[in-house]
Every structure is written in structure tokens, then in C-alpha cells.
Structure 1
Amino acid sequence: MIVVIGKSGQLARELAASAPDTTVCLGRDDIDITNAQSINTTLQQYSASAVINASAYTAVDNAESEQEQAFLINDTAVGLLGEYCAAHNLHLVQVSTDYVFNGQHHTPVEVDALRDPIGVYGASKAAGEQALESIHGLSYTLIRTAWVYSRFGNNFVHTMLRLMKEKPQLGVIADQVGTPTCAAGLAQACLFAAYHAVQGNHHWTDQGVASWYDFAVAIQRLAVAKGLLDKAVPVNPITTADYPTPAQRPAYSVLSKSTLKTAFADVEQKHWEARLASMLDTLN
């Protein structure tokens, strides 16, 4: 049995859908991961072999004014889960983010690159990574990912589909580059890591590179072809400066996936457009 921390998020829902017979998902009403006693009391009820932490504070802009909450969930709770797993011989799969880097690279960022976050969200996730590294005897997989979307919940794809129905035209940022990542594929990577106790730090995104503008154009093209949109509207490239936000975003978020060839060789990797097409099919 694999215990998934999280129930309503995109990744947790994909994990539950992917492995309904071998996972149990625990939400906020089931466990308080900021409290060591709650973790101990709750997790001891399960004969688990691994824990996947699919819970996180991900409100990037809100984190700038809610620093304490961001660090509580992304740092303190991660350390508490790690301590429990180390004490009970459980493998922990922790999901992290491209935001632990500064976005100033020009080639895919390697797993051992220097952490240098540019905002509170990234700093809280980086602190969580360091918390795991400091726990003696912990068996864990750290999976960094980026630009996650799914058929579930609120995400860029659902937002674009809604706006493309409502607006006569859209402006989408073209100077931030990364890789769209479907949560369905990420879930398979997390499950593989849990089943096989994959060790160390790794990056998982879908294949290829895109800007948010490229991503939006592909969403519209595929959605029109699949009958999810009646017609196309103009999608115009804009700059980050044209759309200011409280938190700074990394300009370059392409993560190197060099370790996947050996550590995740049996997990299927696909180009982001192929994953997007498959995900849109589920919305019909």
C-alpha cells in the first residue's frame, strides 16, 4: 500500500485514478502534516511501503504575503514526513519544483545545479529539499517538475479553454520558457519511484520545450480540432513586463532529464503536445 498525502490536488487525483487498488489518499481532514503527532497516529493505521507527498502550498503570488504558511507546508511538513518515514523504514517520494532555481540558465538545468530561488514559494520548496537531505537514514526520491496541468482542478489548460470561449482575443506570455507537464505522466513517475524505492534527486517533465504562448496556441489548435472550442480567437505574444505579478517567475524552466534514462527507464516519456492531446481527449 502507498499512502498519498493529498486528496483534492491535480497530482493526488491522478495518482488515485492510476492506482486505485494500491493507494490511499489522505486529505486535510484525515491528517495534519504540520503536526508530528497527527502524522504518527494517522500513518500507523496503514501497512504502507511508501509515502508520496502530493500536498504543497503552490499559490506562487500569495506566498509573497503568506510566507509563514508557505514554509509550514513546503518545509516544516516535509521535514516531519521525512522524519516519520526514516523512523519507520518507509520510502518517501517528494515532489518539488523548477522554482528552486533562478531561471537564468540557458541550457536544461541539471539535478545538481545550485538552488537559487527568486521568490518565497521557491525558497520554501528549496528549504523542504534541504530538510530531506539532512535526515539521516531516509530513503527518498525527490522529483522536481514544472508547468503541471491535468484534467482535474484549475490549471493553465482549463483557464485557456475558458478564456478562449469568453474573450475575443488573448495575450499570453512568450518570454518564459519551460515544459508543460501532464500530471498523468508525473503520477506514473511517482508511483514507479515509490514501488522501486528510486533514490536521489531527479527531474520529471514531459519532453520538449515551449513558452506559455506556444502552450496556449497548441491548446487552442488541438481543442478546435477535437470540438472543445467552436472557433479560434487571436492569441498574441506578450512579455512578462506586460503582465506584472507579485512574485517573479523563472524566465527559463527547462529541466534536464538525463537521470531518467537509468532511474526511470521503464516509465514512458512523451512529448508535451502528445500528452496534451491525450488529456484533452478526456474532456470530451
Structure 2
Amino acid sequence: MKRTHLPLNALRVFDAAARHLSFTRAADELAVTPAAVGQQIRALEDVLGVVLFRRTPKGLELTDEASAGLEALRSGFLHFEDAVRAMQAGQSSHVYTIAAPREFFAAWLAPKLAAFRKENPEVRFSLVANEEADFTEANLDLAVRWAEGPGEHEGVALGETGQVCVGEGCWIAWPGDPAPEGEGCDSPLLTVGDAGQALAAAAAGMGKARVPVLLAQSWLENGRLPAVGASEPGRHGYWLIAPTPQWRQKKVKALVAFLAG
């Protein structure tokens, strides 16, 4: 098929439907109706002369023909994204848009970004407080998330993973540790909004909290905590993540190497 005849929009719909194995979820991603997704898939099947999906009692399944072309298709879309970003690089090569938890930015990330900017005075930063912000909608370059891993994106762990106990008394709960087991307490006497507030409450003598090791270390170094207990290994940690196209950018590689080094 000639390049000028490629059904790019239908291929984009097929990629979304193949990832979700659901016309409804693909429609949500693409902001169209499930019927429109179905129409695009049928039109693509007519053009290609193959069946792309089978309906089974468990839901949608890809046919062998669909699976055979999926990896190459997704590779092609990544190249398209790389091309667009390369064309945009002239405007944005020195601007970073980053999403991060507020407490993590204040305690750890801000000093690191200041040090990076000292070595690269031309760079500018735009910070987004919602670390769960969508990369496309928020035009993010990178995000920091408290998670078990990078998920569907590329990523590196920042510092030590796991948690550590700080303070004394009854437990302080926060979203990352919403129901800590009480030792002599039936339930947490204090619930706060994030790990930074849990640390502040523990430092003020309001109880004890289980918080990220990396965050506690920064408070200890800044003299905001007298001491911390032994760390508890865990799968959660602060992860620096980005979709593959962003991860490949020269400017993103430079900042990732600095922060993770």
C-alpha cells in the first residue's frame, strides 16, 4: 500500500482497541463513541482484507493477522512521535515540564533541580502539582510518582525504595499508608494528606508514621527529624517516569542522568 493511502486514523483506532481489548475503553481514550471505533475497525478490515478481532465469551481477542502487524505499527507510531518532538525541539529544548508530589518536590526535588540549573543556566522548569497528570494533556516531560515501578512507561527509581518508621506513639495514616496496624491503638488517631504532612506530624510529637525512606532521609539531613528507625524493604518507591518518546529525548536523558546519578 502506498504511503499516501495509509489509513492512519483507522490504524490509530486499531492500536487503542488492541491495547485495551475493548472498543469502549478505546473510545474513552480517543474521545469518540464505541460505535465510531467499531466503524473504523470494520473499515480497516475491509481495506486490509483481514479480520482483526474475534469476540469470545471472555471478550475481544486479536487474530493472528492483527498480532503479526501490531509491533511494527506501534514502532511506527513511536517514530511519528519522535519526529514531531524533534520538530518541536527548537522551542522546548530548554524547558522541562515536570509533575511531582508536593512534599517530594519541597524535600528532595527542588534542591536537585536548583543544582541542575546551576550547571545549565539556560534551562527553565514548569512544575505540575498533580503527579498523576496525563502526560499528553499536561504536556509533561517527566513525572515523579510513588509507585511499585514505572508501569507502562520508562523509568528509574530515585534513591532507596521502601519505607521507614519515624516518631513515637500511635500511628499517623496517609494515602501511601492508609491503615497502619496499631500497637496499642485500635485505629490511627491522625490521618493526613501526604507523606510530608505525616513527617511533620511525627516530628511534632503527634505520633509515628511509616513514610518513604528517601523523604525521611532528606528531612534527617535538613535537621527536621532527630532520628529515624530501621528501613523496611518494600516495592514502592519514588519513580521518575516518562513515555518512551520523551525518555529518548536528549534533554530528558540529561536530567534523568543528573537526578538518578
**Do they fold alike, i.e. is TM over 0.5?**
no
Q: Structure 2 length normalisation: TM-score?
A: 0.23
> Which structure exhibits the higher relative contact order, with contacts defined as CA atoms closer than 8 Å and separated by 6 or more residues?
1
TM-score by length of 1: 0.22
Pair member with larger Rg: 2
Between Structure 1 and Structure 2, the one with more helix by share is: 2
